């Protein structure tokens, strides 16, 4: 990432992810965030998100005092996470159709 414009886009992307994490954490009281998909294969992604997460928390004493830090790590399934999610959704839909067929007979 030698191009400064790319670095800035990357940092903005990570910053947005951090804000999403903090929002989810405030609403759902989560303890862990795992990031999957193709972008999760980039080691600098998780590092940058962790650094920015801590920086954002330190900028606000209210956030620092009220929100416990979450664990942020790469998803076990990495780039295949989206495919597994799609497969799971398909399986749910198939099960639903099978129940409908069974109940109608």
**pLDDT-derived band at 97, boundaries 50, 70, 90:** confident
Residues 52, 46: Cα–Cα separation, whole Å: 10
Q: Greatest CA separation found in the chain? A: 64
CA 10 to chain centre: 15
The mean pLDDT value for 48-58 works out to 94
Q: How far apart are CA 55 and CA 86, in angstroms?
A: 34
Q: For the whole prediction, is pTM greater than 0.85? A: no
Per the model's pLDDT, the better-predicted residue between 18 and 3 turns out to be 18
Question: pLDDT tens digit string along 80-94?
Answer: 877 888 899 999 999
CA distance 71 to 13: 19
All structural domains of the chain: 4-79 (3.30.420.40)
Q: Are 54 and 96 in contact (CB under 8 A)?
A: no
pLDDT of amino acid 105:
62
pLDDT at res. 48 = 96
Single out the residue of 16, 44, 50 nearest to residue 32, CA to CA. Answer: 50
């Amino acid at each position: 990432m030698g191009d400064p414009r790319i670095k800035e886009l990357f940092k903005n992307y990570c910053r947005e992810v951090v804000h999403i994490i903090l929002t989810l954490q405030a609403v759902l009281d989560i303890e862990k965030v795992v990031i999957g998909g193709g972008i999760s294969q980039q080691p600098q992604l998780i590092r940058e998100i962790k650094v920015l997460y801590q920086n954002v928390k330190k900028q606000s004493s209210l956030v620092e005092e009220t929100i416990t830090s979450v664990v942020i790590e790469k998803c076990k399934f990495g780039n295949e996470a989206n495919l597994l999610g799609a497969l799971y959704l398909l399986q749910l839909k198939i099960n639903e159709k099978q129940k409908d067929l069974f109940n109608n007979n």
